[in-house]
């Protein structure tokens, strides 16, 4: 299963989790050619979020392989609310 950012998934350990993004970690990377030696891929996710995004201090990081072992079905795409500033009008 492909894991994508801004998506809510079922997770065996945490219940519903919000995947923030998936990162590639390189041993070496050449900016001129845009290629490198891939070391691993990691997932940033949180089990605690609201309609605006992750709660402070709740973001976790793990390898994509470890994350997939406990991954269930995709629930839905996460669409955060835009903060509304209060005005004096």
The answer to whether residue 45 is domain-embedded is yes
The answer to whether residue 86 is domain-embedded is no
The answer to whether residue 1 is domain-embedded is no
For residue 25, give both structure tokens: 């970690």
| pLDDT score recorded for residue 55 | 96
Give the containing element (helix H, strand E) for 52.
none
pTM > 0.75: yes
Tell me which residue range forms the domain holding 72.
7-77
The answer to whether residue 2 is domain-embedded is no
Place of tokens 């994508």: 4
The answer to whether residue 51 is domain-embedded is yes
Own/partner contacts of 33-38, CB < 8 Å, gap of 24 or more, are none
pLDDT tens-digit series, residues 9-54: 999 999 999 999 999 999 999 999 999 999 999 999 999 999 999 9
Q: Closest by alpha carbon to 11, among 61, 77, 72?
A: 72
* Number of domains the chain contains: 1
The answer to whether residue 83 is domain-embedded is no
Kindly provide the residue ranges of all beta strands, DSSP E only, lying in 1-89, ordered along the sequence: 7-11, 15-30, 35-46, 49-50, 53-54, 60-63, 71-77
The answer to whether residue 88 is domain-embedded is no
| pLDDT score recorded for residue 88 | 66
The answer to whether residue 44 is domain-embedded is yes
| pLDDT score recorded for residue 89 | 61
């Amino acid at each position: 299963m492909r894991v994508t950012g801004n998506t809510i998934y079922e997770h065996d350990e945490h219940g519903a989790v919000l995947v923030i993004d998936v990162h590639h970690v390189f041993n070496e990377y050449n900016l001129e050619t845009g290629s490198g030696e891939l070391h691993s891929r990691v997932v940033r996710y949180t089990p605690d979020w609201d309609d605006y995004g992750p709660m402070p201090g709740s973001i976790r990081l793990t390898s994509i392989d470890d994350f997939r072992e406990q991954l269930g079905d995709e629930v839905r795409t996460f669409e955060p609310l835009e903060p509304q500033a209060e005005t004096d009008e």
